[in-house]
Amino acid sequence: MTNISGFIEEKQLKKYTGVEPSEFYLLLNNFKEVYKTESADAPGDTLSELSQRLFMGLAYLKGQAPVKELTELFDISEAEFNLEGKEAAGHLIGLLTQPLDTKDYKNYEEVLNYYQYRIDKLGGVAVAADALISSVKSELRKKNNGLALLNTLQDSVDAQMSIPEIFETTLKKLNLSLRMDVSAVLMPFKGSQGFTLEYQFGSAVPPKRDQTIIIDNLKNKADFVLINKQAVENDLSKFIKEALGLPYFIAVPIFSHNSLLGILVSGRLKELKPFFPQLNDSDVDLLKSLAAFISVSCTNANLYSIADTLVKERTEQVVQQKEEIELKNTELEVLFKHVTDSIRYAKNIQEAILPPKQVWNTLLPNSFVLYKPKDIVSGDFYWIDKKGDWVYFACVDCTGHGVPGAFMSIVGYNLLKDILMDEVIITPAQIMDKMNIGVSSTFHRDKAVRNTKDGMDMTLCAINFKTMELQYAAAFNSLYIIHNNELIKYPADKFPVGMDVGETKPFTNNLIRLQKGDTIYIASDGYADQFGGPKGKKFMVNNFRSLLLEVSKNTIETQHDHLNKTIEEWKGNNEQVDDMLIIGLKV
């Protein structure tokens, strides 16, 4: 048996290093130069020492040499072998990556054989690197597919989906994205501690939905079951294999608010690289992410379902209330129509008691009446009559407007007519005194209601065209006369018609000598109290007096139109606040 450098036989060389003697000698010649260059404390350059170190480096690289035998062979400890072998292996790797010095080689066949040896060694390293790169690529591809799956699910699953729809969508996309054969969810069985197969996509065996299992080993969010070829089985893995027919799978819990909502299971029917690699921890992490996604989606679906139920209930209530309101509105519309029809009929009655235009113009020529009720019926009314040489006319503003004012106006009209009819000659003040008693007795019969403020503000005039005399009495509302382009205000008593009988005061009777061309005005307060203009304020009494002075220069017909146009423009889109009544007379 040939001895190699005096310390080991060729058979042992091949056994411990996998290197032929001819290859060893080629390496030894270059190893000497490399080792001396790279090692600061290089040993002696005897051939036996270098051979020994080269041998240990090759044995260390091979990794399958019996260390115990080699330590006995070299008479060193295992630690010394590992240290020296590792150092020699490093120098050997440097040698394998350096150009070969061929100046001492005459046989080029030996050189070619040596290079072939180096190619084979480096090729083995490349294959290992390719395998590692392939494994890394596979893991990256798996993680990328997992991220793509989560993104797809976020776009596909929304809060309006039901829980079954969420499970079905997730399981389907899980199979397609990760090349799983079967994915399923085990759900709690009718309130018990048992779980049964509820949702499944893909199948290896007919689904067995009538079986249940008690889950004891999945108690927190970190638990999972990973079944590969060498995995240790438990009750859950046996149940899944039987129910789903899966030899390789992962099972992770789905928790919702610290309670176990279900168990997500996904697996394959075979393991075959590179398309069906063994399931590993990265697959577990992905399924845990999917379980968390399912938990959040189910929570959102439950919240949406609760909100949707509340909205539907509220909508039903609103619809019911709307129907009730519409019914009430219909009833109110009918009632409103009846009331409105009644008020319109009352308007006809009220208009019937007002003096006809022909009668008015006959008794009081060259005059006008501007009458603008706020509502259908009015609390303002005008009255005219004649007795002897005296023409009586009045502008009356009753308490309130609309229906209450209209009732008061009828009372006032009847009192005026009856009083004038019963007396021979009577002054405006005497008429108003009698009206005061009549209104008080009509509305204040019971002492318990004597605080009722029912009454009338009015101006009552009596004119004698033969003697050019004007008598008047007034309650709050003044009388105005335009004389020689000057407005003269004649005062009114500061109490109404309709005071309590116990507080009765006589009204003042006033006598005025008229001259031809004088213009007389009496009015209620509605015109001056109207809101409007650019700032939404009242028209005001001073503006009203200035307007009377302005229009007095015009004809009676023009005055009526001017006064009406002015107040309409002032009011604009504002609501009319009170009844309006103005009577004008040019002597």
Its domain, for residue 27, covers: 3-101
Question: Where does a domain end: 61, 79, 101?
Answer: 101
Pick from 101, 128, 163: which residue ends a domain?
A: 101
Specify if 268 maps to a domain: yes
Q: pLDDT class for 90, splitting at 50, 70, 90?
A: low
Given a cut of 80, whether residue 318 has pLDDT beyond it is: yes
Please report which confidence band the pLDDT of residue 16 belongs to, taking 50, 70 and 90 as the band edges: confident
3-class secondary structure, 516: coil
Is the domain of 72 the same as that of 180?
A: no
Residues 295 and 165 in one domain: yes
358 shares a domain with 293: no
pLDDT greater than 90 at residue 59: no
Q: Is residue 314, in this structure, part of any structural domain at all?
A: no
DSSP element (H, E) containing 424: none
pLDDT at residue 350, as a whole number = 75
Query: Per the domain annotation, does 340 fall within a domain?
Result: no
Are 198 and 50 in a shared domain?
no
Q: 90 and 161 share a domain? A: no
| SS3 at position 195 | strand
Specify the number of domains making up the chain.
Answer: 3
If asked whether residues 11 and 86 sit together in one domain, one would say yes
**140 located within any domain:** no
Predicted confidence at residue 103, as pLDDT, reads: 46
Give the global pTM: 0.49
- Does residue 441 sit in the same domain as residue 582? yes
Is 117 within the bounds of a domain?
no
Using CA atoms, how far residue 313 sits from 316, 319, 322, in Å, is 5, 10, 14
Residues 281 and 358 in one domain: no
Q: Are residues 358 and 224 in the same domain?
A: no
Tokens of 334: 């009918």
Choice among 37-41, 91-95, 549-553, 554-558 with the minimum mean pLDDT: 37-41
On the question of pLDDT at 236 being above 60, the answer is: yes
Q: Is 42 found in the same domain as 173? A: no
The 8-class DSSP code of residue 552 comes to: T
d(CA 122, CA 101): 18
Clarify whether residues 282 and 373 are in a common domain. Answer: no
**Res 294 pLDDT > 70:** yes
Residue 405, pLDDT > 80, answer no
Minimal CA–CA distance to 519: which of 567, 558, 554?
554
* Helix pair 21-38, 47-62: axis angle to 10 deg: 100
Residues 6+ apart with CB under 8 A from 15: none
The strand pairing partners of 386, in sequence order, are: 391
Same domain assignment for residues 465 and 566: yes
Q: Is the residue at 115 inside a domain?
A: no
Q: What is the CATH number of the domain that holds 268?
A: 3.30.450.40
| DSSP assigned state of 497 | B
Instruction: Say if 121 falls within a structural domain.
Output: no
- Final residue of a structural domain among 68, 101, 134: 101
Residue 416: CATH number of its domain: 3.60.40.10
pLDDT on residue 275? 59
53 occurs within a structural domain: yes
Distance CA 100, CA 115 (A): 8
